Amino acid sequence: MSGKETQSLLDEEKAQDWLDSLPTVGEGQTFCFECNPDVPCFNRCCRQLTLPLTPYDVMRLCRRLGMKSDVFLDNFAKLRTFPDSGLPIAMLSMLKDPDETCPFVTPAGCHVYEDRPSACRSYPLGRGTQLSRNGVSETFYLVQEPHCHGFDDGRDWTAREWFEHEGLAPYNASNDRYMRLGTMITASGAPISDKMGNLALLCLYQLDRFREFITTMHIFGRVEVDDKRQKAIMESDEAALDFGYDWVELVLFGQCEGLKKKQA
Ligand code: SF4
Ligand code: SF4
């Protein structure tokens, strides 16, 4: 993964240009695809990747590996910043072997398969998102790479069938919050400061440390969070991440639909 490639991915305009160069899979259209351990290219796609890890991806991987977020980020990720919003994004570090292999690939396949990142689940589709009046509008793109024999055979899928098959619903729901947060910041006219970027990193990518922060800073004393949600935040990673999005939005914009400040 070169720094240049990563930068292109983080540059929204360049990322969109790349997506626009790909064929789309419209509503009701299908593509033929099958991936299994018997394909001649098995594991070929798990190397030399520029692979972003969203907060939800990191949450699932930390839990899967039984790892503290700091240890995971130190060992498996490089932190980058979206230039338009100033929000952090973790990029999965490939191994330093000649093939630049993913650290999670084994001869038998993906070691973290049940918790593999959004981008791996989506492949061979890419999902472009935009805020719309009705929430989020989606465009699906087909990433057809020469080395991939998955297109040679298999059943026909619509994009929705593929995403359901790959268990993407919770990933997309959470990732859309990150996209929404970035869009709100960009629309405000300036990227957030490094300090706010570090807060976003803590609240979204380091849920174990975020819980310590909630306790130390008496955060529940400052906002309206009922006992049931407080308990869920301290026990469930999903609830903590959801609260993290609310907290960051509240701090950055002074208001958040899902979280109200306590009246003084
Ligand atoms: S996380 Fe798993 S599926 Fe994704 S690139 Fe690595 S080995 Fe392949
Ligand atoms: S290159 Fe395509 S067919 Fe081969 S293992 Fe990867 S996704 Fe499956």
Q: pLDDT tens track of the chain, all 264 residues? A: 344 455 556 677 777 788 888 999 999 999 999 999 999 999 999 999 999 999 999 999 999 999 999 999 999 999 999 999 999 999 999 999 999 999 999 999 999 999 999 999 999 999 999 888 878 999 999 999 999 999 998 999 999 999 999 999 999 999 999 999 999 999 999 999 999 999 999 999 999 999 999 999 999 999 999 999 999 999 999 999 999 999 999 999 999 999 999 987
Same domain, 163 and 36: yes
Q: Which range marks the domain in which residue 153 is found?
A: 3-181
Residue closest via CA to ligand 2's atom 4 equals: 41
- Respond yes or no on whether the N-terminal peptide bond of residue 146 is cis (omega within 30° of 0): no
Same domain, 55 and 164: yes
Q: How far is the CA of 102 from the centre of ligand 1 (A)?
A: 6
Are the CB atoms for 120 and 41 separated by under 8 Å? Answer: no
Q: What's the whole-model pTM score?
A: 0.94
**Residue whose entry in the numeric block shows the structure tokens 């930068």:** 7
Q: How far is the CA of 121 from the centre of ligand 1 (A)?
A: 9
Three-state DSSP class for 200? Answer: helix
Same domain, 25 and 110: yes
Q: Residue 247: inside a domain, yes or no? A: yes
Which pLDDT value is given to residue 239? 98
Which pLDDT value is given to residue 13? 73
Same domain, 156 and 91: yes
Same domain, 34 and 69: yes
Same domain, 173 and 210: no
Q: Residue 123: inside a domain, yes or no? A: yes
Residue closest via CA to ligand 2's atom 3 equals: 150
Are the CB atoms for 102 and 219 separated by under 8 Å? Answer: no
Domains identified in the chain, total number: 2
- Of the three residues 165, 181, 197, the one that is the final residue of a domain is 181
Q: Residue 190: inside a domain, yes or no? A: no
In which element (H, E) is residue 64 found?
A: helix 55-65
What is the best residue among 32, 33, 41, 113 to mutate for testing ligand 2's pocket, by most ligand atoms within 8 Å of CB?
41
Residue closest via CA to ligand 2's atom 8 equals: 35
Which pLDDT value is given to residue 8? 59
Closest atom of ligand 2 to 36 CA is 8
Q: Residue 134: inside a domain, yes or no? A: yes
Which pLDDT value is given to residue 63? 98
Same domain, 107 and 65: yes
